[in-house]
């Protein structure tokens, strides 16, 4: 059975909550785990080995996780910090989480170094772009006032729009005959300048915000701006996300089989 790592979200000290005040919490959202587990993949949260102030430095590194696991999912969550792509925040509300950025970029690079597949979801797609030298819109309504409303907090995952798949792309091969699909949309940040060696495989319509991107390098690094784990199962009006999952897991299986054959 495949072992798929899922990057952690953080609740930092000082953030309002009733449990473990003053402590850093790391967690994953259960829909991501369940989306992976529908294909009998073990979903395992990858805790950050950095940041402890109460114990000595961890003897474990992100490279150890990349060696032991078969693939990585960078899940959604907090904003990416503008400093991670060389900008100052346009508003204090968009400071993001630099600690999580550094952890996820290091984690992604460790899996890439091992040739193991990386799938980015929402924030995860943005992290991929930043890791490869791209930038983001810090806030779509502010910087792209002509764009669709990509996040409506009151309805959250029920917010949706049309997404155009780029002809001839890897994504198009997973969806033959489909050029326009429906996806959810729960983000207010998005790709602005595309990172070198990345290609766009889907756009929102009609405002052309990047919805899917892929690395052109030696291993599988792919990201989607929507949340496949949030799409209601059986609702044929949305894109069927199982081809995405199966392609990611098949890549992990091939790499694992090749490694065992050595």
Q: Report the alpha-carbon distance of residue 99 to residue 94 in Å, rounded.
A: 14
Cα atoms found within 13 Å of the Cα of residue 53, Cβ hemisphere only: 5
The closest alpha carbon to 81, from 92, 72, 69, belongs to 92
Give the residues across from 44 on adjacent strands.
5
Angle subtended at Cα 77 by Cα 111 and Cα 225, rounded to the nearest 5 degrees: 75
Burial class (CB in 10 A: 0-12, 13-18, 19+), 140: buried
Is there a contact between 239 and 231 (Cβ–Cβ < 8 Å)? yes
- 11, 13, 14, 17 alpha-carbon torsion, rounded to 10°: 50
Q: Report the alpha-carbon distance of residue 245 to residue 119 in Å, rounded.
A: 9
Non-local (6+) Cβ contacts of 133 within 8 A are 195, 196
As annotated, the active-site residues are: 122, 227, 229
């Amino acid at each position: 059975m495949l072992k798929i790592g899922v990057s952690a979200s953080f609740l930092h000290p000082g953030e309002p909550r009733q449990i473990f005040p003053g402590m850093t919490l790391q967690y994953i959202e259960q829909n991501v785990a369940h989306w992976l587990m529908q294909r009998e993949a073990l979903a395992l949260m990858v805790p950050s080995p950095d940041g402890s102030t109460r114990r000595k430095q961890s003897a474990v590194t992100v490279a150890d996780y990349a060696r032991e696991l078969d693939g990585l999912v960078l899940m959604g969550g907090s904003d990416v910090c503008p400093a991670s792509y060389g900008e100052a925040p346009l508003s204090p509300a968009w400071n993001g989480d630099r600690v999580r950025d550094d952890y996820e970029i290091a984690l992604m690079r460790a899996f890439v170094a091992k040739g193991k597949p990386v799938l980015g979801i929402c924030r995860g797609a943005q992290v991929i772009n930043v890791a490869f030298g791209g930038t983001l819109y810090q806030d779509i309504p502010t910087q792209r006032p002509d764009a669709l409303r990509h996040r409506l907090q009151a309805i959250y995952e029920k917010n949706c729009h049309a997404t155009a798949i780029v002809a001839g792309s890897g994504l198009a091969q997973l969806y033959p005959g489909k050029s326009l699909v429906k996806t959810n949309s729960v983000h207010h940040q998005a790709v602005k300048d595309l990172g070198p060696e990345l290609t766009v495989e889907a756009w929102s319509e009609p405002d052309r915000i990047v919805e899917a991107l892929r690395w052109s390098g030696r291993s599988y690094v792919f990201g989607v701006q929507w949340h496949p784990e949030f799409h209601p199962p059986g609702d044929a009006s949305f894109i069927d996300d199982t081809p995405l999952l199966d392609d990611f897991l098949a890549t992990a299986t091939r790499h694992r089989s090749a490694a065992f054959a050595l």
